[in-house]
Amino acid sequence: VRRHQVDRLLGVGDKRETSHVGRDSLARQFVKDFSAEWLDLDQLDFTQPDRKLYRNYDPIVRMAMLDETHEFLVDMVLEDRPIKNLVAADYTYLNSRLCRYYKLEQDVSQGIQKIDVSEVSHRGGLLTQGSILKVTANGSATSPVVRGAWVAERILGMKIPPPPEGVPAIEPDIRGAATVREQLAKHSNDESCASCHRQMDPFGFAMESFDPAGQWRSHYFAVKKGRVKLGAKVDSSGQLPDGQYFADIDELKRVLASQPEKIARGLASHLIVYGTGGELSFSDRQAIDQIVTTAQETEYGFRSLLKSVVTSPLFVEK
């Protein structure tokens, strides 16, 4: 009964609505509500990109970014796409304005539509979508720590503890005298800091190839004597806690996609918290593992995982 109700509430299989808009309106409402909490999209307007540095960002681009993520997730839900697509899809949803903003050459007519993206574009998956890149930046600079912690917590469901008291935050050097990576190397010499930074910073380093406004970059900006110039070259390579190296965001996406059970476990955890309002505890780990195992046959399809969550004892007992 609960599995049927999931389909009903998402509008799946409802033959009365044949248009794309009618068919997915219920799913879109779920996606908007869930992603606001899960992906921090409700904080999209918390900061605004510096107009002097990122002149192409405007309200139209901002809305298109949000639409991209929402449409991508609606498709994930309705088509029961494999969970690995969250990090390594070879498509996204764009309109003509966002396509130009991303500097892609696809021919996009009016309205947002599904677009195949090649690896050359570096797009595809949540980690390269403008809404995510913006919400994980402060408007003028990026931080591998902030973005890395976001990937660890939101995509992989890891628990990152707050920094020890008395440890200063890393502030990007807008003069271009030092890269964030160089600052973090010194900051992480403290073993109490290093244990957490090793888990999350590599994800953030890979995302450094995107600026605070969600556009691709090869160099940082440096502000010298009030003038904006190209600064240090971006180094988006890193090493994951399990020892795997990656050269850039494209290689990181492939590594993450090869471990779909970790992504599924992270999503299941967030669905439980969203659906029940209760935080997960150590004793819930076995129940989460069972939820993930149940959805394995569909390559951890998004909707299959949602049904596995809803039909688990944890969902009704927590």
Among the listed residues 220, 236, 306, the one whose alpha carbon sits nearest the alpha carbon of residue 269: 306
Q: How many CB atoms lie within 10 A of CB 221?
A: 20
Which residues make beta-bridge pairs with 229? 222
Supply the angle between the helices 285-294 and 302-310 in degrees, to the nearest 10: 130
Which residues make beta-bridge pairs with 246? 238
Distances 176 to 47, 136, 146, 213, 266 between C-alpha atoms, Å: 22, 21, 19, 19, 36
What is the chain's length?
318
The C-alpha atoms of residue 122 and residue 71 are separated, in whole angstroms, by: 19
For 4-36, the pLDDT digits (tens) are 999 999 988 654 443 444 557 889 999 999 999
Q: How many CB atoms lie within 10 A of CB 249?
A: 24
Q: What pLDDT does residue 86 have?
A: 98
The model carries a pTM of 0.89
Q: What is the pLDDT along the chain (318 residues), one digit of tens a residue?
A: 999 999 999 988 654 443 444 557 889 999 999 999 999 999 999 988 888 889 999 999 999 999 999 999 999 999 999 999 999 999 999 999 999 999 998 878 878 999 999 878 899 999 999 999 999 998 888 888 899 999 999 999 998 777 666 555 555 444 444 566 666 666 556 666 666 777 788 999 999 999 999 999 998 887 777 777 788 889 999 999 888 999 999 999 999 999 999 999 999 999 999 999 999 998 999 999 999 999 999 899 999 999 999 999 999 888
User: For the stretch 267-287, what's the b/e string if a residue is b when 16 or more beta carbons lie within 10 angstroms of its beta carbon?
Assistant: bbbbbbbbbeeeebeeebeeb
Q: What pLDDT does residue 302 have?
A: 97
For 158-201, the pLDDT digits (tens) are 987 776 665 555 554 444 445 666 666 665 566 666 667 777 88
Query: 207: which DSSP letter?
Result: G
Q: Report yes or no: 249 and 209 within 8 Å, Cβ to Cβ.
A: yes
Q: What pLDDT does residue 193 have?
A: 65
Q: What pLDDT does residue 179 have?
A: 63
Ramachandran angles phi, psi of 312, nearest 5°:
-80, 150
Q: How many CA atoms lie within 13 A of 173 on its CB side?
A: 12
Q: How many CB atoms lie within 10 A of CB 315?
A: 17
Q: What pLDDT does residue 16 have?
A: 47
* Pair of tokens at residue 104: 């892609």
- Element of type H or E holding 113: strand 113-116
Q: What pLDDT does residue 176 have?
A: 44
